[in-house]
Amino acid sequence: MYAWVRVGVLVLLVAGAGVAAVLGGLPDAGRVQEWIAPVGPVLFVPVCALACLVLVPKPLLSVLAGLLYGPAAGVPAAWAGIVLGAVLSFWLARLLGRDALAPLLAGGRLGRLERAYARRGLVSVIVFRLIPLVPFGLVNLGSGVTSLRARDFVLGTAVGVLPATALHVVVGAEATDTTSPQFLLVTAATLLLAVAGVLAARRLSRPAGDSVTR
C-alpha cells in the first residue's frame, strides 16, 4: 500500500506542474528571455534541469540556450542541464514508483522494455534518445521503474541527447539565418543520427522478436 502512495505522489507532482503551467499561462518568448537573460550559462544548468523535471519540452530549453548564449556556451549549458534533469527524473521515479510498478513489467510493453534494457541497457537508452518521436520525459520516468542500471541510463542519455540538443541550440542562435553553414551542418548530422536510431531500434528488436520502439 505504501508503494502505491509513493506512486500517487509522483503522479500528483507531475500533474500539479502541468496544471500550474496551464492556469498560470505560458509567457511569450520575449518575457522568458528577459527573465533568464541575467542567468549565466553555469546557472542555466540547474534551471534547465528543474524545467526538465516538471516536463518542460527539451527542445524549448535548448533553443532558449542558443538564443541567450550562442552555440559555444549554449550547447554545453543545455546539454548538462538536460542530462541532469533526466537523472533527477529517473531517480524520482525509481524512489517513488519502482516497488509498486515492478510487477507490471512482467508482460506487455513495459515487459518488452524491461527485457530490452536487461539485454542491451546502454545501447537501448542511446537509441531511445536518438529517435525524436520518443517522449523525453516518459523515457526518464519509465526507465526509472525498470531494472536498468543508473550508469547505463546516465551514459546513454549523455550520448543520445547531444545531437538533438546541439541542433536546437543552433536553431536558437541562428534563428534569423537558417541557411548558415553551421545550421545546415548540424541539421544534416542530427537527421542522419535520428535515422540511424530508428534503424538501430528495428535491428535490436529482431533477435528476441520484441519491439522496443513506439
Answer whether residue 152 shows pLDDT above 60: yes
Pick from 17-26, 33-42, 148-157, 164-173: least confident: 17-26
118 Cβ contact list (under 8 Å, min separation 6): 147
Cα radius of gyration (the chain): 18
Is the predicted pLDDT of residue 7 greater than 90, yes or no? no
In the predicted model, what is the mean pLDDT of residues 2-31? Answer: 49
Query: Of 127, 132, 125, nearest to 150 (Cα)?
Result: 125
191-213 per-residue burial string, b: 16 or more CB within 10 A, e: under 16: eebbeebeebbeebeeeeeeebb
- The set of cell numbers assigned to 12 is 500528483
Domain chopping of the chain, boundaries = 2-205
- Grid cell, residue 180, equals 548558415
Percent of the chain with pLDDT over 90: 19
- Percent share of the chain, pLDDT over 70: 59
Q: How far is CA 158 from CA 1, 22, 162, in A?
A: 35, 30, 7
Q: What does 44-80 look like in DSSP terms, one character per residue?
A: HHHHHHHHHHTT--HHHHHHHHHHHHHHHHHHHHHHH
pLDDT in tens, 92-125: 888 877 676 666 555 566 666 777 788 788 988 9
pTM: 0.71
CA distance 111 to 121: 14
